[in-house]
Amino acid sequence: MKKAKRHPLLARLRARLELTLDLRTDAAILPEPALIRRACQAALQRQVKLAQVSIVIVDAAEGRQLNNDYRGKDYATNVLSFALNEGETVAGLPLFGDLVLCAPVVEKEAAEQNKDLMAHYAHLLVHGMLHLQGFDHEEDDEAEAMEALETVIVKRLGYPDPYHEEQH
């Protein structure tokens, strides 16, 4: 039996990202851990040497509570990003953060926008990971740059441009 070759670059990339996954929802269709890892890894920028990220997928009630507690908005949103060091690189320390995805909101948006559910999850994971690394979309120029980067990453993952409908 042949021994499988190990690809050193893939091993180094995998070692740069430590992920934990916490499912707090009874949603019937959730992304596989492999998709979560691929999307998060793809969004990790070169300058980040090590990242420790928790992915939490919640139900609508918890999503609403977290959005209200941390953003003062009384509704569940698709993804929330919590960065310990707000995208700033601290010498010798990894990037720490949490991404919270609200399964019912992600499902509803995918259906309303006629998008594949896993493609939408991948996009939101990429979006959240970029937030953890300091990207934002408060100003128009920031939004354009972030959306362009998200599009490149999501397409590299094999999914269509997540903003395609908005470009018509």
Confirm whether 144 is domain-assigned.
yes
CATH number for position 77: 3.40.390.30
Tell me whether residue 168 is annotated as binding. Answer: no
Tell me whether residue 127 is annotated as binding. Answer: yes
Confirm whether 163 is domain-assigned.
no
For the chain, the domain total comes to 1
Q: What is the pLDDT of residues 106-141, one digit of tens each?
A: 999 999 999 999 999 999 999 999 999 999 999 999
Q: What are phi and psi of 164, to 5 degrees?
A: -55, -45
Confidence (pLDDT) at 74 = 98
- Burial of 16 per CB tally in 10 Å (0-12, 13-18, 19+): middle
What is the Cβ-side half-sphere exposure of residue 24, based on CA atoms within 13 angstroms? 15
Domain that holds residue 110: 16-157
Confirm whether 113 is domain-assigned.
yes
Q: What is the pLDDT of residues 60-100, one digit of tens each?
A: 999 999 999 999 999 999 999 999 876 566 666 788 999 99
Exposure class string for 23-62: b at 16+ Cβ within 10 A, else e: eebebeebbeeebbbbbbbbbbeeebeebebebbbbbbeb
Confirm whether 1 is domain-assigned.
no
Query: Per-residue pLDDT averaged across 141-163, rounded?
Result: 97
Tell me whether residue 164 is annotated as binding. Answer: no
Confirm whether 8 is domain-assigned.
no
Confirm whether 103 is domain-assigned.
yes
Q: Tokens 């890892």 — which residue? A: 37
**Which residue from 30, 105, 31, 92 is spatially nearest to 62, judged by alpha carbons?**
105
Helices of type H across 20-116 = 33-43, 60-71, 103-112
Rounded CA separation 159/120 (Å): 9
What distance, in Å, lies between the first and last C-alpha atoms of the chain?
54
Confirm whether 6 is domain-assigned.
no
Q: Tokens 């499988």 — which residue? A: 4
